[in-house]
Structure 1
Amino acid sequence: MIVLSVVATAFVLVLPVELPDKTLFASLVLATRFPPLPVFVGVGTAFGLQVAIAVTAGSLLSLLPQALVSGVVAVLFLVGAVLLWRSAAEGPEDGGEAADTRERTSFLRAAAVSFGVLFAAEWGDLSQLATAGLAARLDSPVSVFIGAWAALLTVSALAVFLGKALADRLPVALIRRAAAVLFVVFAVVAAVETVRVLT
């Protein structure tokens, strides 16, 4: 049974957590490389699976060692930053070329890459932990799922739209390098969190 108040609670809790989060930037960068629709489908599917895992795990997810989770997240972001920086040097330099690249990319490949990037990046994320906590506290897992997934899809839609607009106006290399710097910042924050937990 769907409880609208629980759906609203999950939506309102997850949306502001994700707006300034890595998800927004990762989706934006993906939308500069691939057509918007397959990016949205891939990202949305990844979020659906992540939310389902978080809801199913409930409070068990929050029992994982925090140092392990933050350490893995730090490594993932460092790897992501390196890949983004390198792709900036290799990729198209303006929005017109980016559009040509997007047209030659298959829907399935773009969706699969988008799924993989977001599925890996969301492990241990605040929204996943918040969703697990809500599912543990509230006796309506389907409602929590709907609210959290709707919030994540909203953020993804905004990012994909902004990504397409930016790709048409700004050099793709600039967007990718800026995202790489943000990924480094997230990696440093996760590393600091790991050290803080271990000491």
Structure 2
Amino acid sequence: MGLSLIEGFTKSLAMTVLSEVGDKTFFAAAILAMRHPRRSVLAGCLGALIVMTILSALLGWSAPNLISRKWTHHITTVLFFGFGLWSLWEGFTEEGESEELAEVEAELDADVKDDGAKGKSQDEDLKKQQRRFLTQFFSPIFLKAFSITFFGEWGDKSQIATIGLASDVNPFGVVLGGILGQSLCTAAAVLGGKSLASKISEKMVAFSSGILFLVFALQSFLSTAA
């Protein structure tokens, strides 16, 4: 169990860092931190990622109770192989180094314009009343950062990989490694801002994560289900 905990922690930490650096939510956190208070953005983004990591690990932990551990082990191996090849393909086909950043920035700009247009409508008062309960406890910036990050991560490659990893190794280690990795990436995005995000080589991140996934897949293939 101790070895599995360390294995889950190290694998989750490495996977999270390489998956989240250069991800849409990473760029979103960097851009939001330029426009809003960093503390609220960091709390919102990191809160969403922690919740997502815990939920994913719980799903992975419960999977062997629904399917035999032998099958979950094989499925996890196939997922790692698939994600590894997918990431390498993204690295080879990536044309620009900042396409993801530009895309996220455009989406956030469009969101700001929509919010401005809605502010002039008569429905604004009704929406404010509906959100009053949440805004009593959380700032609008926190809620915006939380929702953008949470729904941006839902169904993402890193979430599915976390589910698979938690089904094969110690889920507590997966949660700890994932949270630490998310904290490091989100803090770097918020503190570094757009200047740091624009310097990230998406090709190198894709290649690195692809190789890491293939290493995990090979290790899982050569090992036996616990």
Task: Assess same fold via TM > 0.5.
Answer: yes
2:7 equivalent to 1:13: yes
* C-alpha RMSD of the superposition: 4.1
| 1:83 CA displacement | 9.9
Listed one character per residue, the Cα deviations across residues 100-147 of structure 1 (whole Å, up to 9, x for unaligned) are x9xx9843342233224444122553x54443223xxxxxxxxx4444
Rg (Cα) greater in structure: 2
Alignment of 1:52-63 (within 5 A): 52-58=58-64, 59=69, 60-63=71-74
C-alpha distance 109-17 of structure 1, shift in aligned 2 (>3 A): same
Secondary structure of the 2:198 match is: helix
C-alpha distance 73-112 of structure 1, shift in aligned 2 (>3 A): farther
Q: How many residues align?
A: 164
Structure 2 gap ranges (5+): 33-40, 106-111, 116-139, 222-226
Aligned with residue 164 of structure 1, among 184, 190, 195: 190
Structure with the larger RCO, 1 or 2 (CA within 8 Å, 6+ apart): 2
Structure 1 gap ranges (5+): 1-5, 93-100, 135-143
C-alpha distance 147-109 of structure 1, shift in aligned 2 (>3 A): same
Q: Percent identity among equivalent residues?
A: 9
| 1:43 CA displacement | 0.9
The equivalent residue for 1:174 is: 199
Alignment of 1:45-194 (within 5 A): 45-58=51-64, 59=69, 60-64=71-75, 66-67=77-78, 70-71=81-82, 74-75=85-86, 78=90, 85-89=98-102, 106-119=141-154, 120-123=156-159, 125=161, 128-134=163-169, 144-167=170-193, 170-175=195-200, 178=201, 180-185=202-207, 189=211
The equivalent residue for 1:42 is: 48
| 1:75 CA displacement | 4.4
The TM-score normalised by the length of structure 1 is 0.58
Secondary structure of the 1:174 match is: coil
The TM-score normalised by the length of structure 2 is 0.53
Would you say the 8 A contact 1:47–1:149 is kept in 2?
A: yes
| 1:64 CA displacement | 2.1
- What is the alpha-carbon distance in structure 2 between the residues aligned to residue 61 and residue 46 of structure 1? 20
- Runs of 4+ in structure 1 deviating by more than 6 angstroms, as ranges, are 81-84, 190-193
Q: AA paired with 1:13?
A: E
- What is the alpha-carbon distance in structure 2 between the residues aligned to residue 18 and residue 61 of structure 1? 17
Listed one character per residue, the Cα deviations across residues 22-55 of structure 1 (whole Å, up to 9, x for unaligned) are 2441464443133211111111111111101110
C-alpha distance 31-132 of structure 1, shift in aligned 2 (>3 A): same
